Chain A
Amino acid sequence: MDTTINHQADMTDLDPRPSAALPKRRRSKWAKIRKDYWLYILLLPGLAYFIIFKYLPMWGIVIAFQDFSPFLGVLKSNWVGVKHFVNFFNNPDFVRLLRNTLILGFYDLVFFFPAPIIAALLLNEIRVGIFKRAVQTMIYVPHFISMVIVASMTYVFLTTNGGVVNEIIHELTGQRINFLADPAWFRPLIILQIMWKETGWGTIIFLAALASVDVEQYEAAIVDGASRFQRLWHITLPAISSTIVILLILRLGNFLDTGFEQIFLMTNSLNRTVADVFDTYVYQVGIRQGAFSYSTAVGLFKSVVGIILIYGSNYFAKKFGHEGII
């Protein structure tokens, strides 16, 4: 398959016809399209997917500037300008939500983002093939466990009424720690859960990048007397640095996406002050209270911040000599 495509592409590039004049070039463009029309047809379903499921629904954003009522529809609902945004920024909840979301995003970046890189580097150093594959498979498994199950497992292990962890702590120290209800434990729990669940899965992409490192470089380094750590620092890390940067940019774009499910499942009356984030707030006011316009405005605000972050980080990545994604 691949060879045929390349072949055809080469053919078109080698097109001998002159292409100086504009109409001619346009014609040649059409000629190209005609020649490769199968490829364009293959492209159509993908395009249709993005237009139908990603771009068309975006028109729904307009309800953020209306007092939307489903029974009047988008066309007949009243336009209110930026009223909902003003309300949101003046709401006492706003600061709390922003703080909780930023702190969780920051923790996620600092503690969870490096975890798969470290795990991949460690795996890369394992020499015994079967052991390496066994470990890989083991750490992939949690990825396939639903967040609901993870949350209930956390409850069963950590509850103060007979949870295993608390029983052990009680035996050792005579005290019990209320992990589930103590606000101080909320963020560590969230990060630990996500690390347990996703670290293994996250190594895949780094291991793929590591596989492409030329073995001869290592051999040369060994001949030069480089230690294991020096090899890691000077060969392995630079080899995967562009992958790391691209993933970091993508991650920053989702900086405010703290994940609804997990937060929602772990929230209770005692830790809500630190647990409320934009995602759960949108659910609460949008779905539970039916304030569609207001919650759309909140969601839109979040998305705009996401876009700014992704472009900003991309800009800086390019500035420091890395490849960006845009």
Chain B
Amino acid sequence: MKGKRSFKIMALLIIAVMLMLAACSGGGSNNNNSGGSTGNTSSNTGGQSSNSGNTGSGSGPAEEKPAPMKISIMIPSFSTELPDKSSPVWQRLEEYTNTDLEILFTPNSSYEDMLNITLASGDLPTIMNVGKTPSVISAARNGAFWDITDYLKDYPNLSQAHPVVLNNTSIDGKIYGIYRARTLGRMGVTYNKVWLDNLGLQPAKTIDEFYNILRAFTYDDPDKNGKNDTYGVVITKYTGPWDIMQIWFGAPNKWGENENGELVPDFMTPEYREALKFFRKIYSEGLVNEDFAVMDSAAWNTPFVNGQAGVFVDVADNARRLDNAMQEAAPRDEPYTIVTQAPVGPKGHRDMPTSGWSGMLVISKSKVKTEEELRRVLDFLDKLNDVEMKLLLGYGIEGRHYDMVDGYVVPKENLDAAITQELTGMNQLLMFIGEQEPGFAPTPINAQIAEVQKANEAIVVGNPAEPFVSEVYAQVGQQLDNIIGDARIQYIVGQIDDAGFDAAIELWKKTGGDDYIREINELYKAAKGK
């Protein structure tokens, strides 16, 4: 009897809990709905104004408007606060391109995994941003994407795509996607300006000066607080800074020619070893954060912003982000950061380029069945390269997210987080092909960044093997990269010596590296012969 009663009480409790849960979730969805509807009303006016803009300029795309095309598009995202369909930016984009968009924002850290799983499922979105990874190459060869080589010339913006970059992104000589362009000479060395001034130093012109700055930042109390609590350059698990710095020393960019005109991987060159010795030295002297090999790259900026580290080796435009973060903590009139080109090394002035592209947008055959549909998708991609769209997706809506002053974009300050969110991540849709949009006003830091990136174009070192697709690498690339990547870190922290690094190279050769080198050289000869 007692058991039965407690059973009843239990059942009542469970029902009560379930009802509460239902009520909660119902409330949640209600909230969402109301949020959505307010967004809709405000954006309707936005939509109308852009419409009138279209008729005013007389560049309406078609006489009669077909129904909006449904397009799903998968792109990486770097934030968790992302816009949805209620965002006026999103709605203007749909209005302008006459599409019904579904943007699949995928966290960048797991983008590769999600991409491979999506490819394996066979159910692809209309458009995806992909790199030239083994699974993408095999998907392309098996006919997952449209070959758009012969279509590009028909579109006003897409036809202006750079042939060299297109060649780099091609697979077996065919173009499957439209690349998202990136500044070629994007890298720069960012210093804490306050620390340099405190110590009476100038940004480094040579590697020796660079070393002296690291030492001074570590041992000469650059923040004048009387404590030994600073160090030189901050590095994380992400190996980008090492990759950049070894180029300064004369190491090739991934592949370089030896005296016989054959390509050899960078880590087999003596210059690479010189660079490694330098890294090992600065690590053993404490000029780099000791825990770099285990530090998460999400926290990369933090030590610089908090005044623990004074040098940052990455893309030059990060100087602006670092400055912004420091200004937020304690505003001051002058920028906190100063950014310069790479220091000059023993083999001259060299720096690492980006590959000129960051993924390409491919069109799936599973969603786009006919050529007519393909034309419409290409038209959509072409329109994304219009100046209007570059402004909209890059900077937002004029008067809402930014103002135009003297032909420059000036972002509005202290925007509500909800309004900023309408724009977050949308710039990942852009390919930056064709006519350039008006950019930021040349504030001191922006001017420096632009200057560094412009000057870099003369000193960047290309990767001669960039366009090649290697079968061996497709099979064992990850293991090969791990062998050398791990050995490099072990060498820097002093776990292995030169003999150990040579052993790692031997292992690399045995694991498939020898075949990889042979294959790349065959492709290289064939390409040169042409």
Contact = CB atoms under 8 A, between A and B. Distances in A.
Interface in B36-86: none
Interface string B275-292: 000000000000001110
A290 B116 contact: yes
Interface stretch (A43-51, A68-76, A130-138): A68-76
Contact of A290 (B122, B134, B488): B134
Contact of A155 (B116, B138, B294): B294
User: A69, A70, A273: which has the most chain B beta carbons within 10 Å?
Assistant: A70
Given A92-B507, A161-B289, A181-B293, A272 B482 contact: yes
Interface in B119-151: 119-122, 133-135, 138-139, 142-144
Interface in B374-423: none
B34 interface: no
User: A69, A92, A180: which has the most chain B beta carbons within 10 Å?
Assistant: A69
A15 interface: no
A16 B133 CA distance: 72
Interface string A273-306: 1000000000011011111100000000000000
B116 A287 contact: yes
A268 interface: yes
Interface in A241-291: 268-270, 272-273, 284-285, 287-291
Contacts of A214: none
Contacts of B296: 155
A56 B289 CA distance: 51
A160 interface: yes
Contact of B116 (A69, A92, A161, A288): A288
B478 A290 contact: no
B142 A72 contact: yes
Contact of A270 (B120, B143, B486): B486
B122 A71 contact: yes
Contacts of B477: 289
Interface residues of B, number: 40
Contacts of B119: 70, 290
A270 B478 contact: no
B479 A93 contact: yes
Contacts of B121: 70
Given A70-B120, A71-B139, A284-B478, A290 B133 contact: yes
A161 B291 contact: yes
Nearest to A291: B475
Interface in B479-496: 479, 482, 485-486, 488-490, 493, 495
Contact of B142 (A69, A178, A181): A69
B112 interface: yes
Interface of B: 112-113, 116-117, 119-122, 133-135, 138-139, 142-144, 237, 289-291, 293-296, 474-475, 477-479, 482, 485-486, 488-490, 493, 495, 507, 510-511
Interface of A: 69-73, 92-93, 155, 159-161, 176, 178, 180-181, 268-270, 272-273, 284-285, 287-292
Given A72-B142, A269-B489, A288-B116, 15 more contacts: A69-B138, A70-B139, A70-B142, A71-B142, A92-B511, A155-B294, A180-B291, A268-B237, A269-B485, A270-B294, A273-B486, A289-B133, A289-B135, A289-B474, A290-B138
11 contacts: A69-B142, A71-B122, A159-B291, A178-B291, A180-B294, A269-B293, A269-B485, A269-B486, A272-B482, A291-B134, A292-B120
